[in-house]
Amino acid sequence: MSDAGLPPGEEQRRMRLRLSILEASVLAAERREEVIEAVAEAADPKETRRSVAQLLGITEDDASGVLDLRVRHFSQANVAQHRNEAEVLRDLLERGR
């Protein structure tokens, strides 16, 4: 997972960002009915992003990522893949890589 030539700390920053996105996508899949309801009830895109962020307890940037997901990302196989990748990233970050 190493990218040669990255500035110090950049690899960890990228891993933390990816982890945040994966965790948000798993949360959205687990609460997909509520996410869809929040989207349907929102008046505009900004309210949609805020509503999803608040519902899932995530940042508005992560909510934007959730809103960009295709429905197929809610499948059991994709959710399991995201959980596994998130676990690997957490382990790497805890080891200080």
pLDDT per residue as tens digits for the range 54-86:
999 999 999 999 999 998 999 999 999 999 999
* DSSP SS3 for 40: helix
Kindly report the CATH number that applies to the domain delimited by 10-94.
1.10.268.10
Per the structure block, which two tokens stand in for 20? 């945040």
Please report, rounded to a whole number, the percentage of residues in the chain having pLDDT higher than 90. Answer: 86
Domain definitions of the chain by residue range: 10-94
pLDDT at 1 over 60: no
pLDDT of residue 97: 58
> pLDDT digit string (tens) for 26-63?
999 999 999 999 999 999 999 999 999 999 999 999 99
Cβ density class 4-29: b for 16+ within 10 Å, e for less: eeeeeeebeeebeeebbbbbbbbbbb
pLDDT value for 27? 97
* pLDDT (0 to 100) of residue 3: 59
